[in-house]
Amino acid sequence: MGTPGGRMFFDGPSYSRLWEKSAIGIISDGQGISLTDCEVVFCRDHRSINFEGIIDWKDYSRWLSDRVRDNPNILRESSVLEALRVPGNKVVLSENFEFFGYQAPGSWALRWNSDCHPSRDEPVSEIVWFRSDDLLHEGDNDSKSSFGWLLNWCDQVNGRGRIPEVLVIDEEQSVVTYRLSEADPLGKMGKPTNADFTTINDLSSESQDNGVFIPEGSNWPLESIGIPLHGGRQLDSIEVELISKYCSNQISGNEIGTNTVSMEGMNDGISISARILSDLWLRGLNTRSGFKYGTTWRCYPGNLDEGHAPWLVVDPSKEGPSNWSEACLSSRLASGVNKNWIYPIYDRDGWRYLQISRPPSDSRWSNPRRT
């Protein structure tokens, strides 16, 4: 029978097993458990439970139609819950957080491994889910579909000692899993100094369509700037902008000298692209074109001959996924070539990098294929 708030109360003989073995629902007053809509769907589809008033498929269809009108997301939520529970995970939905005394703002669910239980163990992860066509927005940290919100949510989840997991569902109700983390890409290349910028800026150069070519590269001050070409160096337009603006002293607070280039004032008067590049250089990274991988930069921690580039860095002013379908594709491409796809986000503490990555093979939750 139904209970207030659209929940279903189940007091059949198997109710205790549903709770004790699978942590489904919450123990209600009296002998029974209280279930959310998508838990009812899961129990009917995967536990062969017949609820009062929902005996045959006609009853089920009628009930489901009524619930979809009240909760348009019930079918998607049921598919996401199915993807998590079929492998054996225990799942507590946000509607039940208060019952267990858990705090997980913004999360749709908490997850436990199959050998754990909410009555005695702490959750291993927090879950949010999105449709594949949900748009990813810039800057607005109040929007759940923004990179800023995702990074802040990731921080909070990590602070509680849990894994931030994102499940994405497409129009066929197929579910895939990704994990969020904050990347901290660091390298061992020398950080650019005022003298380095001045030396490069003073060299004779030939303008190109997308940067400049400097014929004389024998005494080049820093390997991470420009690419070797025909005995000289080719600089792209972003590198040219950063160096020329700095050396012309159009950026306030930066005096030309011999010290490492300061970040103070570096965000004034230059493009977002140049701001990100300056941060990558100051992290000691060796930057190269990420064109082959669909990003602006690929970044090495050292010289190119020392190994592959672990990071692919997006320039959000020119590219980046517009929705979750594109984000999944980008992350999948990066993992396929053993790289980490990271997205720069600027806040008051400077540039931070959100990483969306495929989880280990034993944690890729997906629902059973339907024919």
* CA-to-CA separations, 29 to 3, 24, 302, in angstroms, rounded: 12, 16, 63
Residue 114 lies in a domain: no
How many Å apart are CA 216 and CA 205, to the nearest integer? 9
**pLDDT of the residue at 135:** 93
Residue 209 lies in a domain: yes
Residue 66 lies in a domain: no
The confidence band for 246, taking pLDDT boundaries of 50, 70 and 90, is: confident
DSSP designation for 198: H
With the C-alpha atoms ordered 316, 320, 322, 328, is the resulting torsion angle positive or negative? negative
pLDDT tens digits, one per residue of 7-31? 889 998 889 899 999 999 998 877 8
The letter for the amino acid at 114 is: S
Residue 126 lies in a domain: no
Count how many domains the chain has. Answer: 1
Residues with Cβ within 8 Å of 61's Cβ and at least 6 positions away in sequence, in order, are: none
**pLDDT of the residue at 258:** 46
Residue 357 has pLDDT above 90, yes or no: yes
The confidence band for 102, taking pLDDT boundaries of 50, 70 and 90, is: very high
CB 80 within 8 A of CB 175: yes
Residue 348 has pLDDT above 90, yes or no: no
Extended strands (E) in 232-339? 232-236, 286-289, 297-300, 311-313
pLDDT tens digits, one per residue of 318-339? 998 999 999 999 999 999 999 9
How many Å apart are CA 240 and CA 343, to the nearest integer? 23
pLDDT tens digits, one per residue of 279-310? 999 999 999 999 999 999 999 999 998 999 99
SS3 29: coil
**pLDDT of the residue at 54:** 87
| Domain region containing 239 | 190-283
Residue 108 has pLDDT above 50, yes or no: yes
**pLDDT of the residue at 5:** 53
How many Å apart are CA 201 and CA 327, to the nearest integer? 38
Residue 272 lies in a domain: yes
Residue 238 lies in a domain: yes
**pLDDT of the residue at 277:** 96
Better pLDDT: 49 or 76: 76
Average pLDDT, the chain: 89
Sheet containing strand 211-214, edge to edge, reads 206-208, 211-214, 232-236, 227-229
pLDDT tens digits, one per residue of 194-222? 888 888 988 878 887 889 999 877 788 89
**pLDDT of the residue at 106:** 95
pLDDT tens digits, one per residue of 259-278? 555 544 555 678 999 999 99
The confidence band for 63, taking pLDDT boundaries of 50, 70 and 90, is: very high
**pLDDT of the residue at 257:** 42
**pLDDT of the residue at 7:** 84
Residue 250 has pLDDT above 80, yes or no: no
CB 25 within 8 A of CB 62: no
Residue 222 lies in a domain: yes
Residue 339 lies in a domain: no
How many Å apart are CA 32 and CA 268, to the nearest integer? 63
How many Å apart are CA 12 and CA 50, to the nearest integer? 9
Please state, for a pLDDT cut of 90, what percent of the chain lies above it: 68
